[in-house]
C-alpha cells in the first residue's frame, strides 16, 4: 500500500502557515472588542498607569507608612513644631519626647526637645537634651548656641561662654553666638571684655552687609544682633536704626520689637522726657527652626488614581 509522504516544500508551507497563524492571528480569532482601537489604547494606557501607581505604593512602604525610626521621628518633630507655633509648649514637649524615643540618634530631635524644655522653664533638662544632641552630632551649631542660652539662663555664665565659643569655632561669623558670648561676659562681671565683643559684633555685621548686601536685605536676625550690640554699647540711636531695619524685613520678629522699645525708652530718657509705657508683648518662646512641609505620597497617588478614573469615564472623541 502506498503511503503519502509530503515533500519538503509542502512541510515548509504547513509549518510557515501554522507559525504565522499563531504569531499573526487571522480575523475572527480575536474578538472585535480586543482590537487595538484608539479607545482601547487609551484605556490600556490608563490601566497601565494605575498599575504602576499601585506598584509604587507597595514598593516604597517605608516612606508611605513611616515605618523607619527616622520617619516616625520626623512625624513627631513636625507635630511638635506645629504645637510650638501655637504656643502649646507642654504638648510640643511630649511630641519631641516621642521623637527621641523613636529615634535616639536624631540630633535635631534632641535639640528641639531641649528648646521645648526651655520654653517650659526646664533649663537643666534643656542642657541635658542639648548635650545628647551634641553627643550624636558635635557639629550641630544650633545645639551649641542653645546650650549656651540654657546655661546662661541658669546663671552658669562661664560654661555658657564655652558653649558659644564652640559655636564660633564651627562658624566664626556667627553673630548671635558672639553677641551672646559678650552678654555672658558682662553678666559674669567682665564688662571691658564684653564691650570689645560688642564692637566685634557690629564690625562683623557691617562687613556682612558690605560683602553680601542682597542677603543682608533679608536677614532680620543680622540687623537685630547689630541693634542689640549697639544698645549694649550705649549707642541707642544706632540701635534704633538697626532694629527698625530688622522690622522692615520681619515685622513680627519679637527680639527686634522688644529691642526697639528699649532703645526708644533710652533715647527719651537721655532727652529728659519720661518714657512711654511699653506695650505688653506676649512671650513667643524660643525659635525652634521649622521643618519643611511636603505633600505625602498617598495623597499624590490618590489624586493620580482619581484623575485616571475620570479619564476612563470620558467618552472617546469622534
- Whole-angstrom CA distances from 270 to 227, 231, 244, 264, 273 are 18, 13, 19, 10, 7
Evaluate whether residue 4 is within a structural domain. no
Q: Is the pLDDT of residue 73 over 80?
A: yes
Q: Is the pLDDT of residue 89 over 80?
A: yes
Number of structural domains in the chain: 3
At residue 5 the predicted structure's pLDDT band, cuts being 50, 70 and 90, is low
From the list 178, 232, 188, the residue with the least C-alpha distance to 208 is: 178
**Residue 132 in contact with residue 101, Cβ under 8 Å?**
no
**Burial label, 70 (beta-carbon count in 10 A; 0-12, 13-18, 19+):** middle
On whether both 38 and 87 belong to a single domain, the answer is: no
On whether both 95 and 133 belong to a single domain, the answer is: yes
**Residue 249 in contact with residue 227, Cβ under 8 Å?**
no
Evaluate whether residue 305 is within a structural domain. no
C-alpha span between 231 and 214 (Å, rounded): 25
| Amino acid 21: pLDDT | 45
Evaluate whether residue 256 is within a structural domain. yes
C-alpha span between 83 and 77 (Å, rounded): 10
Evaluate whether residue 166 is within a structural domain. no
For the chain, give the longest Cα–Cα distance.
140
| Amino acid 256: pLDDT | 96
On whether both 55 and 71 belong to a single domain, the answer is: no
- The grid coordinates listed for 231 are 544698645
Q: At what angle do helices 175-187 and 191-211 cross, to 10 degrees?
A: 170
> What radius of gyration, in Å, describes the C-alpha atoms of the chain?
34
Q: What is the pLDDT of residues 200-254, one digit of tens each?
A: 999 999 999 999 999 999 999 999 999 999 999 999 999 999 999 999 999 999 9
On whether both 52 and 123 belong to a single domain, the answer is: no
C-alpha span between 163 and 177 (Å, rounded): 9
Domain enclosing residue 197, as ranges: 172-291
On whether both 273 and 178 belong to a single domain, the answer is: yes
Evaluate whether residue 316 is within a structural domain. no
Evaluate whether residue 76 is within a structural domain. yes
The CATH number of the domain holding residue 74 is: 1.25.40.10
On whether both 93 and 183 belong to a single domain, the answer is: no
On whether both 54 and 85 belong to a single domain, the answer is: no
On whether both 179 and 285 belong to a single domain, the answer is: yes
Evaluate whether residue 74 is within a structural domain. yes
Buried-exposed string 73-100: b where 16+ CB fall within 10 A, e elsewhere: bbbbbbbbbbbbeeeebeebbebbbbbb
C-alpha span between 124 and 132 (Å, rounded): 13
Q: Please compute the mean of the pLDDT values over residues 274-295 and round it to a whole number.
A: 49
| Amino acid 271: pLDDT | 87
**Burial label, 193 (beta-carbon count in 10 A; 0-12, 13-18, 19+):** middle
On whether both 187 and 280 belong to a single domain, the answer is: yes
- The grid coordinates listed for 49 are 498607569
Evaluate whether residue 45 is within a structural domain. yes
On whether both 254 and 216 belong to a single domain, the answer is: yes
CB within 8 Å of 116: residues ≥ 6 apart: 80, 84, 89, 92, 93, 96, 288
| Amino acid 47: pLDDT | 56
On whether both 184 and 100 belong to a single domain, the answer is: no
Ranking 52-61, 231-240, 261-270 by mean pLDDT, the lowest is 52-61
On whether both 217 and 275 belong to a single domain, the answer is: yes
Amino acid at each position: 500500500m502506498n503511503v503519502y509522504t509530503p515533500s519538503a516544500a509542502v512541510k515548509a508551507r504547513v509549518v510557515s502557515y501554522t507559525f504565522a497563524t499563531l504569531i499573526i492571528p487571522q480575523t475572527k480569532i480575536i474578538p472585535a472588542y480586543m482590537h487595538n482601537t484608539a479607545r482601547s489604547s487609551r484605556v490600556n494606557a490608563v490601566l497601565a498607569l494605575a498599575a504602576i501607581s499601585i506598584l509604587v505604593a507597595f514598593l516604597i512602604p517605608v516612606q508611605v507608612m513611616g515605618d523607619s525610626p527616622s520617619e516616625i521621628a520626623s512625624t513627631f518633630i513636625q507635630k511638635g513644631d506645629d504645637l510650638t507655633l501655637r504656643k502649646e509648649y507642654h504638648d510640643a514637649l511630649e511630641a519631641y519626647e516621642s521623637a527621641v524615643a523613636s529615634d535616639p540618634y536624631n540630633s535635631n530631635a534632641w535639640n528641639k526637645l531641649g528648646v521645648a524644655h526651655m520654653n517650659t522653664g526646664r533649663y537643666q533638662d534643656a542642657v541635658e537634651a542639648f548635650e545628647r544632641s551634641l553627643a550624636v552630632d558635635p557639629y550641630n551649631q544650633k545645639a551649641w548656641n542653645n546650650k549656651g542660652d540654657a546655661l546662661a539662663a541658669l546663671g552658669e555664665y562661664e560654661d555658657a561662654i564655652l558653649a558659644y565659643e564652640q559655636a564660633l569655632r564651627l562658624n566664626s561669623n556667627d553673630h548671635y553666638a558672639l553677641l551672646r558670648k559678650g552678654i555672658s561676659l558682662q553678666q559674669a562681671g567682665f564688662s571691658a571684655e564684653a564691650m570689645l565683643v560688642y564692637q566685634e559684633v557690629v564690625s562683623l555685621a557691617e562687613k556682612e552687609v558690605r560683602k553680601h548686601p542682597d542677603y543682608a536685605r533679608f536677614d532680620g536676625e543680622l540687623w537685630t544682633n547689630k541693634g542689640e550690640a549697639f544698645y549694649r554699647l550705649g549707642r541707642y540711636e544706632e540701635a534704633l536704626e538697626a532694629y527698625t531695619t530688622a522690622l522692615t524685613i520681619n515685622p513680627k520678629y519679637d527680639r527686634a520689637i522688644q529691642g526697639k522699645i528699649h532703645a526708644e525708652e533710652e533715647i527719651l530718657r537721655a532727652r529728659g522726657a519720661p518714657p512711654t509705657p511699653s506695650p505688653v508683648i506676649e512671650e513667643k518662646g524660643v525659635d525652634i527652626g521649622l521643618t519643611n512641609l511636603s505633600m505625602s505620597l498617598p495623597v499624590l497617588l490618590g489624586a493620580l488614581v482619581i484623575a485616571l478614573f475620570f479619564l476612563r469615564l470620558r467618552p472617546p472623541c469622534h
